[in-house]
Amino acid sequence: MMCRGVVSRMVLLASQCWSCRHYVSGLFGAVGRPHCAAFPEGIPHEVIRGSVDHREPYPGDNGIRWESNGRPWLDLPPELRDLLGL
Print pLDDT tens along the chain (86 aa).
444 443 344 445 667 888 899 988 656 566 677 889 999 988 898 998 888 889 999 999 999 999 988 876 666 666 666 766 66
pLDDT recorded at residue 7: 37
C-alpha closest to that of 44 among 73, 78, 16, 19: 16
Q: What pTM, to 2 d.p., does this model score? A: 0.69
pLDDT recorded at residue 17: 86
Q: Where are the domains of the chain?
A: 16-86
How many whole angstroms separate alpha carbon 74 and alpha carbon 50? 12
C-alpha closest to that of 20 among 37, 8, 32: 37
Residue type, 78: P
